[in-house]
């Protein structure tokens, strides 16, 4: 197979693995813990920079509850029930509702951070390949982006390169914070077709 053909196969495999992981509401760190596979290895496989071996695929298939055929793209994804909130990190009680089902390209999720009576703490930050758009639907969301701290309210949006350390927390007391996330591969950008005109 030509080199560009191999690169295409690896990229497609990485997209499938990322989609299955996100569908199950796992972060790369959680997937690493569940499978015993090094975090950097999982990241390189998802980004098409490393070819997964059979042992790795077996670990991932077992952790995600899918077949090897699905991971390899030889079988259609198993039919799923209507999307419903999936706990992503039991420690913070966050729920994630996947809004897209296809593999590759942009993925959309709705996140809900539960109400808390405790004073908010600065969010734990992570970084990874990709680009993210975030829109707050309700409540107050604390976005820690690198060294910057922002509190976003309903209707406010942020976009950022996810290689920048980032994290979120509920910035308000007594009510949940709900927000939408669109996540895409590095270099992906939203392309507005219609812009408001000055009037």
Instruction: Render pLDDT for 46-88 as a digit per residue (tens, 0 to 9).
Output: 887 888 887 887 777 777 777 777 776 665 544 444 444 444 4
* CA-CA-CA-CA torsion sign (76, 45, 104, 10): negative
Instruction: Render pLDDT for 125-137 as a digit per residue (tens, 0 to 9).
Output: 988 878 889 999 9
Question: CB burial class (10 A; 0-12, 13-18, 19+) of residue 34?
Answer: middle
Half-sphere exposure for 198 (CA within 13 Å, toward CB): 0
Is there a contact between 162 and 129 (Cβ–Cβ < 8 Å)?
yes
Instruction: Render pLDDT for 169-199 as a digit per residue (tens, 0 to 9).
Output: 999 877 899 999 888 776 566 666 666 666 5
Q: Could you identify the residue written with the tokens 């707050």?
A: 136
Task: Report the Cα–Cα distance between both ends of the chain, in Å, rounded.
Answer: 57
* Listed residue (119, 116, 122) closest to 176, CA to CA: 116
pLDDT of residue 164: 92
Stretch 38-49: mean pLDDT, rounded?
A: 84
Residues 6+ apart with CB under 8 A from 104: 12, 15, 19
pLDDT of residue 39: 84
pLDDT of residue 9: 53
**Average model confidence (pLDDT) across the chain:** 76
* DSSP codes joined into one string, 105-148: S-EEEEEEEPP-SSPP-PPPPB--SSEEEEEEEESEEEEEETTE
């Amino acid at each position: 197979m030509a080199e560009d053909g191999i690169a295409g196969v690896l990229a497609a495999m990485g997209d499938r693995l990322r989609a299955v992981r996100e569908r199950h509401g796992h972060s790369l760190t959680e997937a690493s813990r569940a499978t015993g596979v090094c975090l950097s290895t999982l990241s390189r496989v998802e980004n098409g920079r490393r070819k997964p071996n059979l042992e790795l695929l077996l670990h991932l298939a077992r952790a995600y509850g899918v077949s090897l055929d699905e991971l390899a793209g030889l079988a259609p994804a198993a039919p799923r029930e209507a999307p419903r909130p999936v706990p992503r990190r039991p420690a913070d009680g966050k729920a994630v509702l996947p809004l897209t089902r296809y593999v590759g390209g942009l993925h959309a999720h709705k996140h809900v951070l539960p109400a808390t009576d405790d004073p908010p703490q600065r969010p734990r930050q992570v970084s990874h390949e990709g680009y993210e758009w975030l829109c707050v639907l309700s409540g107050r969301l604390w976005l820690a982006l690198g060294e910057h701290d922002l509190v976003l309210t309903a209707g406010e949006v942020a976009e950022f390169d996810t290689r920048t350390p980032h994290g979120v927390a509920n910035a308000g007391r007594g009510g949940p914070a709900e927000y939408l996330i669109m996540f895409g591969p590095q270099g992906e950008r939203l392309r507005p077709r219609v812009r408001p005109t000055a009037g």
